[in-house]
Structures are given as C-alpha cells and as structure tokens.
Structure 1
Amino acid sequence: MARQNPGQVRVQGEVVAAYPEVPPEALRGEVRRITVVGEEVLHRRCRAVAEEEFGTPELARLVDDMFAAMWVAEGAGLAANQIGVDLQVFVWDCFDEDGVRHVGHVLNPVLDDLPAGARRLVEAEEGCLSVPGPHMELVRPDSAVVRGRDLDGRPLVIEGRGYFARCLQHEADHLGGGLYIDRLSSRGRRTALRRMEERKEEVFAKRAARAGELAGLR
C-alpha cells in the first residue's frame, strides 16, 4: 500500500513537526515484566481511573513504564494489565498503512459503536505481547474511534484506520479482560498457544537484549 503521508507523526491525535524515534516516556520509564496469557489480571475487566488519580505523578509514571515495556517488546500498543496493573489505561506507538506514526495514551477508553454502513471488515495478521511469538489471522473493522481522557483528565478522541484501528481495538479488548486469541476458533486458539510455547523463550531473550539497549540510551 502506498504511503501517502511519509514521516507524519500524530501525538495524542494531533500532528506534530517531529518526534524522537525512542519516545521520551520510554527513556523515563522502568521496564516492567509483561504478563502472559493465563495470568488472572489479563482475564478480568480493569477498573476505571478515579477522578482523584488524574494528574498524579503515580499515573504519569505508569504511562512512562508502559512505554518502556512496549519499546523493549517492540510492540505497537500495550494495556496496563499487560504489566500487571488493574487500570483502564493503554498506550500506543503504531504506524498505519500510510506511513503515519501514531503515539499516545488514553485513560478510561470507550470504543464507539460504528454504524453498520461504516463497518468494513478486514482479515489481517494480529499478535500480542502477552501471547509471545505467534501471529494469527483475525477479522476486525478497518476503522475505530476511541473516546477517553488524557493523564490530566482532558477529553480525548482518537480515530484510526487500518492497522492503527486494529491496534486500538486490540488494546480496548485487553482492558475488558479479553485477548485476541479469545476471538479465534478453538482450533486457532490451540494453534496460537502451541506456537507460543515453541517461541516464547526466544522472544523473552530478545526482550532482555532490548532492555539492555534501552538502558544504554539513557
């Protein structure tokens, strides 16, 4: 697919002139272990961020830590329960098919229900940092709108198409206690879990090497 906007970056949905290859959040954050399918925190709905939590240093540190873990794992998105935190937060650093880089965070996100006429379903490969290794074909709508709030509690609307829309939907699933493999057939799920067992040690070793690389950038 042609890249119509090479080099464009959108941070929190807004176009910016430039953005570092390694997000500053990742450089500030602590690399935390990513949870793996089967751990209880991944399989229940996360709690909403309370009003008194917005604007706090603790919440800002959480987002920094999520960016650090996402960068080390070479992910396009990460939900808070993927580092063991029961909270409605996810982050992203994701390119779409037009070459646009999307970077940001959202708290208490809600996916809009798309009108039937606006839903175009697309099958594409999808993977998950909490199911390390395999990628499986999965059908999702090719557009998504997420409404939530930023770290300081300001309203936020993020729109995505193509791969970025898939990313937004994938992370929203996590906060509801779901993983992409839950949307597969029973056979597809078994295949994904078998491939994970075959590859997970290789993936973990690569993440450890990336953690050392990130430490060297600080």
Structure 2
Amino acid sequence: MARILLVEDEAEMARLVAGSIESDGFLVDRAGSCEDARLTLELARYALVLLDRRLPDGDGLSLLRTVRATQPGVPVIVLTALDRLDDKVHGLDAGADDYLTKPFFADELMARIRAALRRPGAEPAAPLLCGRLRFDPARREVDIEGQPLVLKRRELLALEALIRRAGRVVQRDALVAAVYGMEDDVLPKALDSHISRLRRRLAELDAGVTIHPIRNVGYMLKPA
C-alpha cells in the first residue's frame, strides 16, 4: 500500500482525514508542525504529501522545498482553509501539485489523491521480480507468473520492503517502519507473525522465493 504523510495540526481534522485515507487502503503518518514534518520526511519514503498551511511554526508551503529535496517527484496536495484566489495561486506557484480548500468532501479528496498518484513520476513503475514473484509498485499488485496474489495490507507492505531489497538483509527496524504507521502501537512479536504468515503463503503457492530470518538482525527475501 502507498504511504502518505499528512501534515495537519488540528487533531480532530487529522483523525478524520487519516481515517478516510486509511479506509481506502493507504498507510498514513501524521505530523503536526513544519519541524515534525521535516524530521518525518527523513525517516520514510512517501507516495504523496497532504499539507496544511496554517501550522504552529509557520506556513506549510515552507515545506515544499524540503519535500522536493528529500523526495523528488512526490506529489503534494495542499489542504487549507485559505481559500482566496491569490492564496490558491500562491500555493500552486510555490510548487504544490494541487490545492483543496476546507471544508471538502472525503470523496473529492480521494479522487484527487488517486489522480496525483497516476501522474508520471508519482510512483515508480518498474515491476520488482524475485523467483516466480512479481510486484507492481504502481498498481500495488502481486502475482505469481501472472496469477494474482491477494495479501493482507501489512503482509503486502512487508513483501514490498523485502522484494525491494531482494538478496539483502532488511533490518527489523526498517521493516517495522515500512509495515506500521509511526503512531501505531507495535507488539514485540507482531512483525514476526506477519512475516510467518507471508512465508507460509508464498510456500503454499510455490512462489519460488524464501524468506530467511537473520537472528537478531532482520529478514532476507531471495529466490528458492
């Protein structure tokens, strides 16, 4: 699933927006200030950024330069109550890909997110291959020699992290960051449970890959 960064300081608004996005299958991280957002952008790779303007420590548009420097090509949609024409023009001229004023309908937000993710450069399109397994990062789909493989959300996120680094060890911390949101409470053995189910499923379907546990370090995906 694609990972989205929501930069919004109003807790209730952030909860509602994140809930709508997550119900559509996305993973959402939240930041409540410009400084929090800058730190978050250094920790994870995002498919899209949703950006409020009126933040406690400045105008959210000041983050556009950071987004472009740390994650080139990632689309940014501004979500704000600043709805005058000159505000919209300023936001778009500053580098935002889209500008949506509050209040807005959840359906319109999701349509704009989908449209932004379809644009060239928004998501890497090259398929990732390992064994008989093929992962399409643009469509968020997995198949085994053309036969679709449907996985639960966290198993899909774990598989993506592993197949992106096939043949190399992926450390536990990196897997946890890829599979869970930054605000999720992660139980000690939760990651191992997801990996165990994923490994069993791939073996049952003869995907031609194995997931090797590296004791006290992480996991590695490689051809069988």
Same fold (TM over 0.5): no
Q: TM-score band (shorter)?
A: under 0.3
Q: Give the structure with higher Rg (CA).
A: 2
Higher relative contact order (CA 8 A, sep 6+): 1
